[in-house]
Structure 1
């Protein structure tokens, strides 16, 4: 019985595909979808390759300028500063995520924590906010709309023409017709997305370090497109007229793909309001004034620090110290200011995380939100990756500045401090910035699995409606 049912479903699916193949509109839509997916994949890959090449070149130039500094005072090197650039993952070509709206370059210097600069959104037109022509944008936004136009009349039009009544009169059950249509349009949806899905398969083969991420992205996008095909077919079977099915599906697509993803961030911003950059700077300056000024030897806090250092080395005057007190003073000042920067930064991250949790809570209501969360996380273009870059860059900045302050304390005499220089080999030997890879297991556990679960839940929620849709289809016999 099950074999007969399966063969009947397969035969109906083949007939559905054959019937769509005969229609010029379907053929044009198929070609258009394949071209969109293929073009977005190629353009995304080339863009990622170009951007990554530019960043590597700029990073090499910044490193060369750093190493080319002449012999000079270590504190001059502290204020000379250094540039670091955030690298891209191999999957960044597929989903650019928030990369277009966040900076990718940081200027590192002493006594300051700068923001990331050179985001694409600041240098491009406002059209960028409607979505980038990446494979993720095509598969998340455009292909569901194409699936809707291909599947909205697969059952309702047959009901209007009377061919559904004829099939039922020949003994074909409504369930077999429904499952056959589902199989046919599900296969067509995957066929249209095949250029992008094959690109993910290529990454899984050619980049073993990204294999898990690529395979999970393939699974997520396949489930998402199959979900839209199932929704469209079920709507076509549940609604009497094809026109009504199309209107309902378009309204659902607009709500799930357009309205909710743009409305929820605004609601999250109103619920957890972030301070402006000016407000953050004012708060930091007030806190810095309370800490004291390490450049002022008469500052109350640093006067106490001076007595502590004198007692530690057992001397009465800073001139008698075996190290340069000026370097020690700058080290202490850098430690205090960095702790302050870190507190403000982590508080801002906490507020942004609260906003993200509010939006992610609606992933069950919108499979688009679930897929976007999965896609950006696995591609390494999400907010968490950007924050991790800022944290790692700040750690590097602090260690770099403190190493220079240590050179100041150990290799520069206290007398005539400002007139001295040390060899350039000291900063040439300091380590380069490296952005460590993320923990794949953590990204999968925190982002990928919850998003996949949300989409699987949507598919399971459709299961109880299938008998109702089949029953609705069988009523045309009456």
Structure 2
């Protein structure tokens, strides 16, 4: 062990004398710090802005004057998607999914005002975030610093001398690896401090912050081992650098994008235009819930009359138009939910296909873990939409119920009479309260991603030990 530490100490001294290594590490730390502060400030401002707009939307809904309940349902309401505290670390798909949704009767609207649609085309190629720095740039730094760790000793002839002095090849490789892992730890340190600050001051989950540190720690450890392994396998540092750069390009850039394109082709999603046409066609087939005489609701009308034991809707003890609106909203919501579930199932099929490639491409596993822990993945977005739809449906049906109970059918069908109820009714409506996924569920859901990284780590460790044996035999 002492010999391993001595090898690591000599490697540290070499790195300290290497201006490229020192400058690269300092630049990466500075970049991580600046990006983290910028992302956290932007996230804080965005959260405050959405909270302010949500409060204004809630106040505007409650401040509506005396109105017909169904007019209130058509006037609608806005919901702004709350941000996770860890979204500053990895925004995930947030830039593509939108910020707000408009709730109204007879419609299930999608999210609007995505950052990609509001910003320049540069945003489509990725954002400079703490997660991006660790996923893409930190491995590149490790490559430039450590690519010649072992190959340099081969070229200079120092490796033969070290082996002749009784130092084993494994001790040499472990010493080099220990030195490079310390560089990886220093590269990770600013992120650890930033996540700790988020957990302490922004009330982010300590468990999820630790989970992120674990995931990215495994990621940098994988790259540290890979760099030393390639350096031990090739004869020259230049060859190691070219090989590692090619590996980085494939794993960090080409394959993740290629797998996404493959999933998009294998499980093709219909365009929004096609879906809207199909939904509109099926919606028209349901009938017009605003028309009391619509034949599509004939069976519903007969069942209602039989239940109350009357011969015509005018004799019902409740407003038939309100009940008809409730029935129409129920039928249309079932239709919308069926198409929404179909879309989410197709998107989940794409994710499942990507998960299969994650066992071969650790970058995908890391991204899945990072977005899940940060609350910016597809399943978190789907959770918000489902809760928003439940709130919309409850809101509209409560307004329809007010129409059925507070207004008479005779007055409601009289075009010369203004039918309104007191505005105090909408002031009593509860506001939307989004319930995020529990921490334990997030950890369980991303456990497979940690497993992928751990398996890659074990395979590389085994490869390093095998390379240690080969290194000694080739020199001798």
Q: Shorter chain as normaliser: what TM range?
A: over 0.9
Q: Which residue is equivalent to 1:3?
A: none
Q: Which residue is equivalent to 1:368?
A: 363
Note if contact 2:225-2:461 (Cα within 8 Å) is conserved in structure 1: no
Q: 2:378 matched to 1:380?
A: no
2:38 to 39, 43, 53: 43
Note if contact 2:198-2:204 (Cα within 8 Å) is conserved in structure 1: no
CA shift at 1:476, angstroms?
5.8
Q: Which runs of 4+ in 1 moved over 3 A?
A: 202-209, 475-478
Note if contact 2:15-2:21 (Cα within 8 Å) is conserved in structure 1: yes
Once the two structures are superposed, the pairs formed by residues 75-224 of structure 1 within 5 Å of their partners are 75-206=70-201, 210-224=205-219
Q: What SS does the corresponding residue of 1:415 show, helix, strand or coil?
A: helix
CA shift at 1:128, angstroms?
1.2
Q: What SS does the corresponding residue of 2:410 show, helix, strand or coil?
A: coil
Q: Which residue is equivalent to 1:428?
A: 427
- Bigger drift between 153-162 and 323-332 goes to 153-162
Q: Which residue is equivalent to 2:398?
A: 403
Note if contact 2:100-2:111 (Cα within 8 Å) is conserved in structure 1: yes
Note if contact 2:184-2:221 (Cα within 8 Å) is conserved in structure 1: yes
Note if contact 1:265-1:359 (Cα within 8 Å) is conserved in structure 2: yes
The one-character-per-residue Cα deviations of 1:238-294 (angstroms, maximum 9, x if unpaired) are: 110111111111111111110111001111111011111111111112212222221
2:47 to 37, 44, 52: 52
The one-character-per-residue Cα deviations of 1:86-134 (angstroms, maximum 9, x if unpaired) are: 1111111110000011112000000001110010011112211222111
Q: Which residue is equivalent to 1:72?
A: 67
| CA–CA distance in structure 1, aligned partners of residues 245 and 475 of structure 2 | 29
CA shift at 1:207, angstroms?
6.1
Give the alignment's TM-score, normalised by structure 2.
0.97
Note if contact 1:78-1:404 (Cα within 8 Å) is conserved in structure 2: yes
2:354 to 354, 359, 372: 359
| CA–CA distance in structure 2, aligned partners of residues 35 and 367 of structure 1 | 26
Q: What SS does the corresponding residue of 1:463 show, helix, strand or coil?
A: helix
The one-character-per-residue Cα deviations of 1:364-396 (angstroms, maximum 9, x if unpaired) are: 211111110000001000000111111100000
Once the two structures are superposed, the pairs formed by residues 391-470 of structure 1 within 5 Å of their partners are 391-417=386-412, 419-446=418-445, 448-470=446-468
CA shift at 1:31, angstroms?
0.8
The one-character-per-residue Cα deviations of 1:143-190 (angstroms, maximum 9, x if unpaired) are: 111111111011111211222222222221111110011111011111
Note if contact 1:73-1:421 (Cα within 8 Å) is conserved in structure 2: yes
| CA–CA distance in structure 2, aligned partners of residues 264 and 432 of structure 1 | 41
1:34 to 16, 29, 37: 29
Q: What SS does the corresponding residue of 1:362 show, helix, strand or coil?
A: helix
| CA–CA distance in structure 2, aligned partners of residues 424 and 140 of structure 1 | 53
Note if contact 2:90-2:131 (Cα within 8 Å) is conserved in structure 1: yes
| CA–CA distance in structure 2, aligned partners of residues 338 and 131 of structure 1 | 36
Note if contact 1:33-1:193 (Cα within 8 Å) is conserved in structure 2: no
Q: Which residue is equivalent to 1:311?
A: 306
1:19 to 7, 14, 23: 14
CA RMSD of aligned residues (A): 1.4
CA shift at 1:474, angstroms?
2.0
1:472 to 454, 470, 476: 470
For structure 1, the 5+ residue unaligned runs are 1-5
For structure 2, the 5+ residue unaligned runs are none
